[in-house]
């Protein structure tokens, strides 16, 4: 999809951070943008930025964990702009706990947004994208934590590994119907994800504030992270060139190489074990 002018795009988690960066970058290429966020005031602010410089955009309040709300988002997008050509399943939350300290509510909250939110986006938008038959593209936001596992953040890592696998599957599954697929793998980016607990529903133990010591250290790292506008520009490039992997932090390559080496070594050990059994 080289030319985005006149294309209709939907971005979830678009009220700040990476989502906002994607919206601004898509609009700069001439796309009409549906700015979706659970925090409608933030979505409205992004729309004001866009329309203030002549772009077409609307805000839609959406809790992506709720399929009926994502269905309503799809209906609003089509009713306002027409067929959707670009879907960015970007909404995400974060919980700083290892698995032994993770409550059922912690688990449900992270999974319902990070994984179910992506699935809800796909189920509610993909049939229409296939039906209209025009060129289309899907971007799912995972994380470098969806490529290798570090300590703590058990639910976050699990959700992002799942998004990685689902997106790689989609790449193969949708190739015959001319829908491109990209996997966004951000690492250290200047976002508000550490404040995601502010929108955690009461039914799942919210609102939540991140542990002060971790929040402070994370904030210091985040301040030195990538500009979300740079992430947005890379997403646009990936859409235009149908690139699968959009990796933001090259310094994480060593971690990923270590994981892949361990997997390859596992095959070697298995082969040796088989040989020993046959002798």
Closest CA to 71 of 26, 20, 126: 126
* Catalytic residue (one of 2, 71, 97, 156): 156
Q: Is 156 a catalytic residue?
A: yes
State the Cα angle at 149 between 144 and 151, rounded to 5°.
115
For residue 139, the Cα-to-chain-centroid distance in whole angstroms is 7
Q: Is 261 a catalytic residue?
A: no
Sign of the four-CA dihedral 143, 144, 145, 151: negative
Helices (H), the chain: 17-28, 40-52, 67-81, 104-114, 116-132, 154-174, 212-223, 228-241, 253-277
Closest CA to 10 of 64, 65, 69, 84: 84
* Catalytic residue (one of 2, 7, 160, 161): 160
Would you please indicate which residues are annotated as catalytic (active-site) residues?
A: 156, 160
């Amino acid at each position: 999809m080289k030319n985005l002018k006149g294309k209709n795009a939907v971005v979830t988690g678009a009220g700040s951070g990476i989502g906002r960066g994607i919206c601004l970058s898509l609009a700069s290429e001439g796309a009409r943008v549906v700015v979706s966020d659970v925090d409608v005031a933030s979505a409205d602010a992004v729309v004001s930025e866009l329309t203030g410089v002549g772009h077409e955009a609307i805000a839609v309040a959406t809790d992506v964990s709720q399929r009926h709300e994502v269905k309503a988002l799809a209906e609003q997008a089509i009713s306002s702009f027409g067929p959707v050509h670009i879907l960015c399943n970007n909404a995400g939350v974060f919980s700083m706990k290892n698995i032994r300290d993770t409550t059922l509510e912690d688990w449900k909250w992270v999974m319902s947004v990070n994984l179910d939110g992506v699935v809800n986006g796909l189920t509610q938008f993909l049939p229409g994208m296939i039906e209209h038959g025009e060129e289309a593209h899907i971007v799912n936001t995972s994380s470098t934590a969806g490529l290798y596992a570090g300590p703590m953040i058990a639910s976050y890592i699990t959700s992002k590994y799942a998004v990685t696998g689902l997106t790689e599957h989609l790449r193969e599954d949708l190739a015959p119907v001319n829908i491109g697929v990209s996997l966004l793998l951000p690492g250290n980016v200047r976002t508000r994800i550490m404040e995601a607990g502010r929108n955690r529903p009461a039914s799942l133990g919210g609102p939540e504030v991140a542990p002060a010591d971790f929040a402070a250290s994370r904030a210091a790292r985040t301040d030195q992270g990538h500009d979300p506008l740079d992430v947005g520009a890379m997403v646009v490039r990936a859409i235009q060139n149908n690139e699968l992997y959009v990796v933001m932090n090259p310094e994480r390559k060593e971690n990923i190489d270590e994981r892949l080496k361990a997997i390859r070594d596992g095959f070697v050990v298995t082969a040796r074990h088989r040989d020993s059994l046959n002798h």
